[in-house]
Chain A
Amino acid sequence: MRTRTFVLAAVFVVLTASARTQEGHPLTGTWAGDWGAAGAPRTHITMVMEWDGKAVTGVINPGPDAISLTAVSVDWGTWTVRIEGKGITAEGRLEDIGSYHRRIAGTWNQGGARGEFTLTRE
């Protein structure tokens, strides 16, 4: 009985996840993840991006301490994303492009520190 319940729950989760799609500009949406140097504590990141037809705009960590993005560019041949904000530069590769929960993973530079970051579209 417990196994059956688990299977039904798993099927529900799979079906629910598979029904969510976002097929427009691949950066549009809210992304969550973290960054940090190897072995160091990780710092949470929430990033909101939007495509207005000419540029990707957005903020890091929306709220009173939000950091506006000053430039976001993508090399569409390699799916490499470069993100810039005040005191922040990050460069990563867009992965699993066809998924609602696509990811960006790469290198994050902030305040003289350097580390790896991952972001997953929520």
Chain B
Amino acid sequence: MKQLVLGALIATGAVVHAQLPVPALYDEWRRITLDGVVTRVEWANPRAYVFVDVREASGVVNWAVEIGNPLDLEQRGWSPTTVRTGDSVSVEAVPARDSAKRALVSTFWTTRPRARVFSGNATAKAAPTVAGAAPRWPDGQVRLGPPAGRKGYWGVSSLTAMIENGSKASLRADGLLTNLSDADRVAPFQPWAKAVYLHRQRTLLKDDPAARCLPTGGPRQFHTPNGFQFVEQRDLGRILVLFGGGNRNWRIIYTDGRPLGQAAEAVPSYYGSSVGRWDKDTLVVQSVGYNERFWMTAGGLPHTEALRLEERFSRPDLNTLRYEVTVDDSRTYTRPWRSAWTVRWVPDREIEEFFCEENVESTFIR
């Protein structure tokens, strides 16, 4: 019997890319076992499925077993042909909260042939990293992208949901608070903002706009699962930030000395209007002009169009990006507050193709 253990998908939040968030879809406190035959493998972003015919008292029922994001699965050694139509399988899974014949895999076994693919809490194969100093341009300025002639992008972040620096509150990777009474420790909310935040937490993030493939604006850009890349167009006075998740969106940070302008003058957008300047080895970016159509982090922190961000990007070494953001939105928070995290460099690889709604024709969308 071969065993495929896909790790603690819920705990890592690895599949929280788009469409209804995992906590809102699946009842984490229940487990079921499905024994049956594979009828189809649907290998599409953001979530891949194996469909299994299971004989139940009422007859044969076709279950959809969510196995994770294809990019994550490929890094864990799974391919679209690892499980094939006709394979006999046994699946331990977390069932849907509703009556849908849908479940999230926790352990996946094929019963014939008896060959192990991988087991245990399998983790993605980390690309080998070589220590080194931050790369620099010929004039000595730090490069935020790959070293000259090399490939690479920014991948896993140390924080996947924002929280004020120094807070002791415990947040899960998907942004849910371990204890709702800790809400005041997440950020200095105005009363309405705390109520909205708690509502989103209590409803298990089901209304997250990112789950409907809307852009992840604000700081959330820098802790999404599929990474990002800086393209520094120094001759044009701008830096492009290319995102690997969502719909492969991009953001422009102007470094040509133009003024930031006023929030009221901007047409509100998901990524706002940004200008940046270098302060020694730190890129300091000021942004205004955000719309109110997105959550600026997993977990559901609200904001208004008054939001102003100051982001500071630095690269202390080749493999580390330090990101620090000051959130200033007096209509939502009682004072400006900061959050910070680091992001790891993925060397010698390009961002993989990912489209949020690739499975738009899947069973659960059409």
Q: Mark A72-99, 1 if CB is under 8 A from B, else 0.
A: 0010110100000000000000000111
Contact B192 A99 (CB under 8 A): no
For A11, the chain B residues whose CB sits under 8 A away are: 366
Please report the C-alpha to C-alpha distance between residue A20 and residue B209 in the assembled complex, in whole angstroms. 9
Contact A25-B331, Cβ < 8 Å, known A18-B212, A98-B207: yes
Contact A53 B331 (CB under 8 A): yes
Q: Name the one of A18, A22, A25, A76 contacting B293, with C-beta atoms under 8 angstroms.
A: A22
Q: Mark B229-257, 1 if CB is under 8 A from A, else 0.
A: 00000000000000000000000000000
Contacting A at CB under 8 A, from B190-210, are 190-192, 194-196, 199-200, 203, 206-207, 209
Contact A22-B214, Cβ < 8 Å, known A97-B199, A98-B199: no
Q: Mark A29-65, 1 if CB is under 8 A from B, else 0.
A: 0000000000000000000000111000000000000
B219 CB → nearest A CB, Å:
15
Binds A, one of B32-40, B69-77, B297-305: B297-305
For A24, the chain B residues whose CB sits under 8 A away are: 292, 302-305, 331-332
In this complex, what residue of A is CB-closest to B305?
A: A24
B330 interfacial by beta-carbon distance below 8 Å: yes
Contact A23 B294 (CB under 8 A): yes
For B331, the chain A residues whose CB sits under 8 A away are: 24-25, 51-53
The number of A-B residue pairs with CB atoms under 8 Å apart is: 60
Q: Mark B298-330, 1 if CB is under 8 A from A, else 0.
A: 000011111000000000000000000000001
A95 CB → nearest B CB, Å:
12
B295 interfacial by beta-carbon distance below 8 Å: yes
B297 CB → nearest A CB, Å:
12
Contact B207 A99 (CB under 8 A): yes
Please report the C-alpha to C-alpha distance between residue A76 and residue B196 in the assembled complex, in whole angstroms. 9
For A77, the chain B residues whose CB sits under 8 A away are: 195
Contact B304 A25 (CB under 8 A): yes
Q: Name the one of B192, B194, B203, B295 contacting A25, with C-beta atoms under 8 angstroms.
A: B192
Please report the C-alpha to C-alpha distance between residue A76 and residue B304 in the assembled complex, in whole angstroms. 18
For A53, the chain B residues whose CB sits under 8 A away are: 190, 304, 306, 330-331
Please report the C-alpha to C-alpha distance between residue A74 and residue B190 in the assembled complex, in whole angstroms. 13
A28 interfacial by beta-carbon distance below 8 Å: yes
Contact B212 A19 (CB under 8 A): yes
A26 interfacial by beta-carbon distance below 8 Å: yes
For B332, the chain A residues whose CB sits under 8 A away are: 24-25
Show the binding face of A for B, using Cβ within 8 Å.
11, 18-26, 28, 51-53, 74, 76-77, 79, 97-99
11 pairs of residues in contact across A and B, judged by CB atoms under 8 Å: A21-B212, A23-B292, A24-B304, A25-B332, A26-B196, A51-B192, A53-B306, A76-B192, A97-B196, A97-B199, A98-B203
